């Protein structure tokens, strides 16, 4: 013990080793008691994957198998005309619609308002679900365009455009419906979007020469417009979530 | 300990001002928002939760705007919306584990926490049932459970007891009272007894503004001398009921007991009574003319 001159108190020499050990234990206890953390993006993605329903995985698996079966069937049948393009386009529209079902679930059953108040909030969940949907769509698109497109007279590039146009426009419509008709039951919303877009995807078949090479610039312009519209709709939807007015039922 | 400040917060939907320049300073304790439907309570709570963005004004938590705190603020928050959302295909346990993950509750403790809140709200035995099989009261209790998952420092409950039976309501009140230490609990309701027993501070909302606030005693005192009791015959009771706010009415033999809320003595023979919170509610929110139909029905 040291006596400090001038001051009327005793100073005990500190055992630095014991002090740091005690502080370490206090910190450890504090960390053990911590009820919250800041999970990384990867951890958030994994947690969203973990809580997808078995129905979701079954449906995604079924779509992939159906895509394989469809292109194999068309290949075996030698169907390389406009009908084959239209069938694949309608299939992709439905596949795109279904792959976004995880997104629709977030807006179903009044969940949106509650989800917006969570650490991983609705806006972030929407982005993660769009990522899942995008990956699933790319797989299906890859199968359809990669296999069926190679066999088609139009060529892979043109075939990709024929698939992309209805696909992009239908996704735009579905995203719009998510926030515009959020009170509508998820199944009805999805079915309505699917039917409307499916019919629209068949429409070019009724136009003479719509799939001719001469109209490729038109398809290109429509695809570009679809990309722009889809991006605009995503920003519009995220903005709507941020403002919150579209999330609450009353 | 959190501190919430609302600084002249306004929310306007097209031409309707739902919340009008509300300024509040909330510290530890239970705050009960009372008001009729459409008073702006839910809009105010939604802004406090960050679901809705104020048209003007700002909300601060510990001196920092909540929009700046963002995820950090949501980590502190537990919210039970009026229209509570759930996934019907999920079991109660899975649903709570899902929300715990979204609330950033570490995986190692989330299972334990889920069991703790299920026990607290009396749903432990139903944890493996799908939510679609739950009754309205069970769903509401599940809602309360999810709000508590992350041990929130700010707990916001919008109409928490709607759909609960009296026993569940008492149980809920006890849970809230037990939880009110070291946190801000904000309740919105039009059920007076919900806040009467547990709120440290009562805020009366009307047309988007806070018209009265204070401790239950202060708020009750604000109508002292304005509550009257009177035994009337049927004709007189009908006349009084049409002219004054009536907070209680019952048949007593061939006469009718009336508890009236009025600035002045409603009639000769009426005696002043000790006011309660229901009288306060009647004084501020009830339109006297609304009672005519009620009286006729009750007398018949």
Q: Which of the 8 DSSP states describes residue A13?
A: P
CA B132, B135, B140, B144 torsion-angle sign: negative
* A23 and A77 housed in the same domain: no
Residue B101 has pLDDT above 60, yes or no: yes
Q: What are the tens digits of pLDDT across the range A66-106?
A: 888 888 887 777 666 777 788 888 888 888 888 877 787 78
For the purposes of burial, counting CB atoms within 10 Å of the CB of B266, is it exposed (0-12), middle (13-18) or buried (19 or more)? Answer: buried
Supply the range of the domain harboring residue A221: 44-243
Interchain CB contact of A35 with B (< 8 Å): yes
Would residue A33 count as lying in a domain?
no
| Statement: residue A184 has pLDDT above 70 | no
The minimum CA-CA distance between A67 and chain B, rounded to whole Å, is 28
Query: B18: which chain A residues are within 8 Å (Cβ-Cβ)?
Result: none
Confidence of residue B96 (pLDDT cuts 50, 70, 90): very high
B187 bridge partner residues: B32, B157
Same domain, A56 and A132: yes
Residues A162 and A103 occupy one common structural domain: yes
Indicate whether A135 and A24 sit together in one domain: no
**Do residues A87 and A140 both lie within one domain?**
yes
Verify whether the Cβ–Cβ distance A114 to B94 is below 8 Å. Answer: no
- In chain B, what residues touch A53 (CB-CB under 8 Å)? 89-90
Q: CA–CA separation, A152 vs A114, rounded Å?
A: 48
- Across the interface, do A36 and B103 touch by the CB < 8 Å criterion? yes
Same domain for A19 and A63, yes or no, is no
Instruction: Let me know whether A180 and A208 are in one domain.
Output: yes
Contacts of A19 (CB under 8 A, 6+ apart): none
Asked if the model's pLDDT at residue B74 lies above 60, the reply is yes
Contact yes or no for A36 and B102 at CB 8 A: no
Half-sphere exposure of B9 (CA within 13 A, CB side): 29
In a domain, A193, yes or no: yes
A39 belongs to a structural domain:
no
Which phi-psi region, left, alpha or beta, contains residue A6 (left: φ > 0; alpha: ψ -120 to 50)? left
- CB contact (8 A) between residue A119 and residue B71: yes
Digit-coded pLDDT (tens) for B212-259: 888 888 888 888 888 888 888 888 888 888 888 888 888 888 888 888
Q: Label residue A152 by pLDDT band (50, 70, 90).
A: low
Q: How far apart are CA A2 and CA A9, in angstroms?
A: 9
- Of residues A13 and A111, more confidently modeled: A111
Q: How many CA atoms lie within 13 A of B211 on its CB side?
A: 17
Contact B32, B189 (CB under 8 A): yes
* Mutation to test the A interface, candidates B101, B109, B149, B150, most A Cβ within 10 Å: B101
A136 in a structural domain: yes
For A36, which of B79, B85, B104 is closest by C-beta distance?
A: B104
Taking residue A59's Cβ as centre, other Cβ atoms within 10 Å add up to: 16
If contacts are CB pairs under 8 Å, which of residues 43-102 in chain A contact chain B? 47, 50-51, 53, 55
Nearest to B74 among A113, A118, A247 (CB): A118
Contacts 24+ apart (CB under 8 A), B112-116: B113/A35, B113/B149, B113/B151, B114/B149
**Residue B31 near residue B3, CB atoms below 8 Å:** no
Q: If you measure CA to CA, which chain B residue comes closest to A55?
A: B89
A248 occurs within a structural domain: no
**CB-based burial, A109-121: b 16+ in 10 Å, e otherwise:** bbbbbbbbbbbbb
pLDDT of B298 strictly over 80 = no
| Mean of pLDDT values over B16-30 | 90
Same domain flag for A123 and A23: no
Core vs surface per residue B38-77: b (16+ CB within 10 A) or e: ebbbbbbbbbbbbbbebeebebbbeeeebeebeeebbbbb
Nearest CA in chain A to B109: A35
CA B40 to chain centre: 12
Lowest mean pLDDT among A31-45, B58-72, B148-162: A31-45
Q: Cβ(A107)–Cβ(A182) under 8 Å?
A: yes
CA distance A141 to A138: 5
Same domain, A20 and A117: no
H or E, element range at A236: helix A216-243
Taking residues B146-172, what's their average pLDDT? 87
Best residue of A101, A114, A239 to probe chain B, by most B CBs closer than 10 Å:
A114
Choose which CATH entry (3.40.50.300, 3.40.50.2300, 3.30.365.10, 2.60.120.10) describes domain B4-215.
3.40.50.300
pLDDT beyond 60 at B130? yes
* CA distances (Å), origin B18, targets A244, A250, B57, B180, B216: 15, 12, 14, 28, 25
Q: Give dist(CA A67, CA A61) in Å, integer.
A: 10
Residues A109 and A215 in one domain: yes
Q: Which residues contact B58 (CB under 8 A, 6 or more apart)?
A: B7, B9, B65, B67
* pLDDT greater than 50 at residue B261: yes
3-state class of B157 per DSSP?
A: strand
Q: A114, B85: Cβ pair inside 8 Å?
A: yes
Task: With a cut of 80, say whether residue A29 has pLDDT above it.
Answer: no
Lowest mean pLDDT among A18-22, A243-247, B6-10, B260-264: A243-247
**With an 8 Å Cβ cutoff, are A35 and B50 in contact?**
no
Q: What mean pLDDT do residues B107-120 have?
A: 89
Note the pLDDT tens digit of each residue in B167-221.
888 888 888 888 877 789 999 987 888 888 888 899 999 889 999 888 888 888 8
Show residues of chain A in contact with B99, CB under 8 Å: 118
A120 and A152, same domain (yes or no):
yes
User: Is the Cβ pair B74, A119 closer than 8 Å?
Assistant: yes
Three-state DSSP at B20 gives: strand
CA-to-CA dists, residue A249 to A78, A113, B85, angstroms = 51, 9, 11
Nearest-CB residue to B101 (from A38, A51, A117): A51
Chain B residues touching residue A116 (CB < 8 angstroms): 49-51
Query: DSSP for B170-202?
Result: HHHHHHHHHH-TTSEEEEEES-HHHHHHH-SEE
- A vs B, Cβ pairs < 8 A, gives 100
- How do strand B184-189 and strand B154-158 relate by DSSP bridges? parallel
Identify whether A239 is part of a domain: yes
CB contact under 8 A, A119 and B104: yes
Residues in chain A closer than 8 A to B94 (CB atoms): 51
What's the pTM value of the predicted model, to 2 decimals? 0.80
The domain spans of chain B are: 4-215, 227-299
Quick check: is A203 in a domain?
yes
Same domain, A67 and A105: yes
Inform me whether the C-beta atom of residue A17 falls under 8 Å from chain B C-beta atoms. no
pLDDT band, very low/low/confident/very high, at A162 (cuts 50, 70, 90): confident
Domain annotation covers residue A249: no
DSSP three-state, residue B53: coil
Pairing of β B209-214 and β B201-206: antiparallel
Say how many domains are in chain A: 2
According to the model, what pLDDT value does residue B291 have? 45
């Amino acid at each position: 013990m040291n006596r400090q001159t001038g001051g009327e108190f005793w100073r005990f020499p500190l055992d630095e080793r014991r002090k740091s050990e005690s502080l370490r234990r206090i910190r450890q206890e504090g960390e053990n008691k911590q009820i919250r953390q800041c999970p990384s993006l990867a951890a958030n993605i994994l947690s969203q994957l973990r809580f997808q329903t078995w129905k979701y995985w079954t449906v995604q698996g079924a779509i992939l198998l159906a895509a394989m079966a469809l292109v194999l069937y068309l290949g075996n049948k030698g169907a390389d005309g406009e009908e084959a393009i239209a069938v694949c386009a309608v299939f992709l529209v439905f596949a795109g619609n279904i792959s976004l079902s995880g997104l629709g679930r977030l807006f179903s059953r009044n969940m949106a308002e509650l989800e917006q108040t969570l650490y991983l909030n609705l806006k972030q969940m929407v982005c993660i679900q769009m990522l899942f949907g995008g990956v699933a769509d790319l797989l299906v698109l890859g199968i359809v365009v990669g296999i069926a497109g190679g066999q088609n007279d139009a060529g892979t590039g043109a075939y990709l455009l024929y698939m992309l146009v209805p696909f992009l426009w239908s996704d735009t419509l579905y995203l719009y419906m998510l926030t515009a008709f959020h009170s509508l039951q998820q199944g009805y919303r999805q079915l309505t979007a699917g039917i409307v877009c499916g019919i629209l995807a068949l429409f070019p078949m009724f136009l003479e020469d719509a799939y001719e090479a001469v109209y490729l610039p038109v398809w290109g312009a429509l695809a570009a417009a679809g990309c722009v519209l889809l991006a605009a709709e995503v920003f519009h939807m995220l903005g709507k979530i941020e403002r919150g007015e579209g999330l609450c039922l009353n | 300990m959190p501190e919430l400040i609302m600084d002249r917060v306004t929310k306007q939907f097209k031409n309707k001002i739902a919340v009008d320049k509300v300024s509040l300073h909330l510290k530890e304790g239970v705050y009960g928002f009372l008001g009729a439907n459409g008073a702006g309570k839910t809009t105010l709570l939604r802004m406090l939760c960050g679901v809705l963005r104020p048209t003007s004004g700002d909300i601060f938590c510990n001196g920092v705007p909540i929009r700046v705190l963002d995820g950090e603020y949501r980590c502190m928050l537990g919210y039970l919306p009026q229209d509570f959302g759930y996934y019907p295909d999920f079991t109660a346990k899975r649903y709570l584990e899902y929300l715990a993950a979204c609330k950033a509750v570490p995986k190692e403790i989330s299972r334990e926490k889920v069991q703790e809140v299920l026990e607290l709200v009396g749903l432990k035995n139903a944890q493996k049932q799908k939510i679609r099989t739950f009754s309205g009261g069970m769903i509401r209790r599940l809602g309360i459970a999810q709000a508590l998952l992350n041990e929130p420092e700010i707990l916001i409950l919008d109409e928490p007891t709607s759909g609960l039976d009296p026993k569940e309501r008492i149980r809920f009140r006890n849970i809230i009272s037990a939880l009110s230490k070291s946190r801000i609990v904000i309740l919105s309701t039009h059920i007076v007894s919900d806040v009467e027993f547990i709120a440290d501070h009562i805020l009366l909302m009307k047309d988007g503004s806070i018209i009265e606030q204070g401790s239950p005693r202060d708020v009750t005192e604000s109508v002292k001398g304005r509550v009257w009791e009177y035994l009337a015959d049927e004709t007189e009771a009908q006349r009084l009921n049409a002219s004054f706010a009536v907070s209680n009415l019952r048949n007593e033999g061939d006469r009718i007991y009336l508890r009236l809320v009025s600035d002045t003595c409603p009639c000769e023979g009426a005696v002043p009574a000790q006011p309660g919170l229901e009288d306060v509610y009647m004084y501020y929110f009830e339109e006297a003319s609304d009672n005519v139909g009620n009286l006729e029905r009750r007398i018949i």
